[in-house]
Structure 1
């Protein structure tokens, strides 16, 4: 493709809108909002898991605090009831001793109060969330105390208290055993249970935080992909337009404003295509219009050079030679324009079987005088290959590559052409020993009218179309032409042509 000049408002066609009167096509409803809306939505969705995690952690902490308060409350109730149980049991024994030692029936009321107090404490203990074993101990202690009180109540004040000493000792042992069991229960169930609950809640919070972070990262990655994909495509599209690749339609899918920008780029691409077509038509017409008078000029110069109209002086002959050289240079440039127009016009190909070696020998013969004048050595290894392709197209491409290599080769240098069949296709290499091509210029190398900075000294300036013609011709054959990186001096161009599945004819 050719590069194009910046167009002016005056050269716009009547059927293509310009930037001034361009009315964007109404956007179809899309699922995605604008870029800013999508960004805000993504931010909200990424924050939601964080909020959910904070709420979940707050709930878990409240549960842990609730369990802690409940454990402390139950522990306090058990400790208080155990202490009151010991006090009530001691009060019962003291009241019974006073009742029998003093033999005062009035002290019977104190015994009753001590009994009821002990029963009240046992009822409180029985209502606590015990294990079955502890609950049974409370019930057994209540029965034991009830039986002892029943015996004390039926015995007169003058009875023998010593006969109840062993019963009170058993009651003391049972009370002490229950107090020890409650202490063990507090440590074994409440404290340990609270620690287990805290550990469980801690693990839950860790899993919740990990899940929250993973979900946030996943959502971030999804929205980053949704946002970066159209941006990357826009960047590639702009780079494509910058490289003058105008064949592929532009279709950006994503946020509404980026789709709108894609539509504007598509309009720009259509505009550039039209200007490119106008430019090619202009070159084609100008080339043909110039070729006829230039031919007449060359004939007239030849007549003067042959002194048909009369003898020329030495100065006149020098002027005629200058005119003749300039006319031939102008004809070469016009022929390059015509070749380029022909190369990009997608002509009908005429593939046929031919041998590669004679074609390269033929191209060498065309440059034989130039090779001798430049004292260049022709080198290379060419396999005896048969291929089916358009011979003229391949000849045009190779001729331009060889011409370019000769132009940049130093006097007395070597020009190499290698050809070999490989697994991925037929490869043809054209290598010179010239100044090479700067790495920064490789992208523009095959653009029409592009001339690198490393131009040879003492030669006529080229038209900048040779490599563009070669690339267009090879691509029409279904192959590729590229500048191959090389550590050696000079330029290394490589042609790759696909294998033909047909079998070449014999003979």
Structure 2
């Protein structure tokens, strides 16, 4: 049967789990009722047979007393009373003896009663005493045999209770185990479509080329949600393509007129078209600086667009010595211009990362530190491992950033409030590129507080492939 909705699946799973528990409850109720009936029956049986024995003992006293009186007085009325007592005794003895397995004692008792019933009072005293003594002994033996019978029934009842209790324990273990298995399988059946949705969401977040296929069976609510996620992924891909195309075309279209403007400014500054007065020379200088700034922004946009187009990072073990050496060599001129000494604390021999993304992180963090840090103060680059993470700290002296503004600095085109040392208006893409590079390597970038520095950007990425 195909379950059409998550509600039906949950309800059916709940009912299936309850079935073994209901069976256990029914069996327990039946067993308790049966044991109650047995206990009541045994109690009634024991009370009835004990009462009969008690009456028989009372009648035996009457029989003995009446026969002794009859032996002395020879009164026929006493003989009649004794005979009635014997008849009542026999009426009680018959059902009691019917319950016993050994009938010899009942046979002896019957013989004693028969002899007493035929007693005419002429026999001697010793014979009468002997018959009454045997009658009394036979009655005592009967009582002992009844007690043994009752004890045996009690032991049998205890054995039955123990058997039922053991069966109840095993049945409870089996049925509860079945319920737990049904709970496990029901949970798996319910969670499997949810895990499929999680896989789709992870594929979307990682910008994978293909998503898991849409499920053909399962709760209809989750299948509908899976279709919506696929449509969302297609829409996101369309928007990403539009953004890439916009950045690419805008940057390309801006570079052509910008080159013409820069060429014109060069001709004017070189006074090829005529001599310029001081005011005109200042204006041309402003135009040159503006075109340089615009060209820098276009290059940063192209770099940001190139970063967005990189779908997946390529992880490898990068030698830290080579990476840092090339990084320092390429940035030597910028470091010397700002007079900021570079302090390197490299505690790792290799780092597991995408070399291009890691180098882009280093370049942007150094550029940010040079632009906003205090001149002449050291810039510290600390690379180390902490548990399952590789951590890169780039710290510098300068203006502190308030807690509430720190997350905003990693958003595209968001700039801080501090002035740059180079008097150039930043594009607000540097820290955003750092954050995107870290995210692509399954890590994160954040601003943290450290000792001996006013501003520190910490980049955290997984230590190895197992932690990704």
TM-score by length of 1: 0.69
Question: Once the 2 structures are TM-superposed, how far is the Cα of residue 430 of structure 1 from its aligned partner?
Answer: 3.8
Match of 1:278 among 242, 251, 257: 242
Segment of structure 1 superposing worse, 56-65 or 85-94: 85-94
2:419 is matched with 457
Equivalent in the alignment of 2:14? 43
Asked if the contact 2:393/2:457 (under 8 Å) is kept, the reply is no
**Aligned counterpart, 1:364:** 331
**Residue correspondence of structure 1 range 75-474 to structure 2 within 5 A:** 75-90=46-61, 92-93=63-64, 96-97=67-68, 100=71, 114-128=85-99, 135-136=101-102, 139-152=103-116, 156-176=120-140, 178-179=142-143, 182=146, 188=151, 223=186, 226-227=189-190, 230-231=193-194, 234=197, 245=207, 247=209, 249=211, 255-345=219-309, 355-356=322-323, 358-368=325-335, 370-372=337-339, 376-381=340-345, 396-417=360-381, 430-433=394-397, 435=400, 449=412, 451=414, 454-458=416-420, 460-467=424-431, 469=433
Q: Is the 8 A contact 1:95 1:114 kept in 2?
A: no
5+ residue gaps, structure 2, are none
Displacement of 1:384 in angstroms is 12
* 1:469/1:220 CA distance change after superposition, 3 Å: same
Residues 338-347 or 257-266, more deviating: 338-347
Number of residues paired by the alignment? Answer: 452
Q: Distance in 2 between matches of 1:495 and 1:156?
A: 120
Q: Could you give the per-residue CA deviations for residues 59-88 of structure 1, whole angstroms, max 9, x where no partner exists? A: 233123212211221112212220232244
SS at match of 1:492: strand
Residues 392 and 255 of structure 1, relative CA distance in 2, 3 Å threshold: closer
Deviation, structure 1 residue 294:
0.5
CA gap 1:263/1:496 in 2 versus in 1, 3 angstroms? closer
What is the aligned partner in structure 2 of residue 70 from structure 1?
41
Partner of residue 445 from structure 2, selected from 467, 480, 483: 483
Cα shift at 1:295: 1.0
Q: Deviations over 1:270-313 (max 9, x none)?
A: 12112211321232122112111111111212233334333444
For residue 457 of structure 1, give the secondary structure of its aligned residue in structure 2.
coil
2: distance between equivalents of 1:37 and 1:204? 35
Q: Deviations over 1:197-231 (max 9, x none)?
A: 77887888788778877776775566556545655
Whole-angstrom CA distance in 1 between matches of 2:365 and 2:15: 59
CA distance in 1, matches of 2:269, 2:252: 26
Q: CA deviation at 1:332?
A: 1.4
Give the whole-Å Cα distance in 1 for the aligned partners of 2:387 and 2:109. Answer: 104
Query: CA separation in 1, counterparts of 2:46 and 2:81?
Result: 31
Instruction: Name which of structure 1's ranges 144-153 and 192-201 shifts more when overlaid on structure 2.
Output: 192-201
Q: CA–CA distance in 1 between the matches of 2:245 and 2:208?
A: 17
CA deviations on 1:212-267 (whole Å, 9 max, x unpaired) are 777767755665565456557647865875x6846562567653311220121112
Q: Which is worse superposed, 54-63 or 390-399?
A: 390-399
Is this contact kept in 2: 1:383–1:420, CA < 8 A? yes
Other-structure match for 1:5 = none
- Residue matched to 1:504: none
Deviation at 1:58, TM superposition (A): 2.0
Q: Which has a greater percent of helix? A: 2
Q: Which runs of 5+ in 1 are unaligned?
A: 1-29, 500-507
Separation in 2, partners of 1:150, 1:328: 142
Q: Distance in 1 between matches of 2:382 and 2:418?
A: 24
2: distance between equivalents of 1:441 and 1:195?
A: 77
Describe the shift of the 1:65–1:380 C-alpha distance in structure 2 as closer, same or farther (beyond 3 A).
same
- Aligned equivalents of 2:381, 2:438: Cα separation in 1: 16
Contact preservation (8 Å) 2:343, 2:379: yes
Q: Distance in 1 between the 2:352 and 2:31 partners? A: 77
SS state at 1:324 partner: helix
Displacement of 1:377 after TM fit?
Answer: 2.6
* Closer, same or farther: CA 111–161 of 1 in aligned 2, 3 Å: farther
Task: Indicate conservation of the 8 Å contact 2:347/2:384, yes or no.
Answer: yes
What per-residue deviation string (whole Å, max 9, x for no partner) do you get for residues 370-411 of structure 1? 524xxx332225699899999877655543332233234234
Conserved 8 A contact 1:356-1:384: no
Partners of 1:218 and 1:440 lie apart in 2 by 52
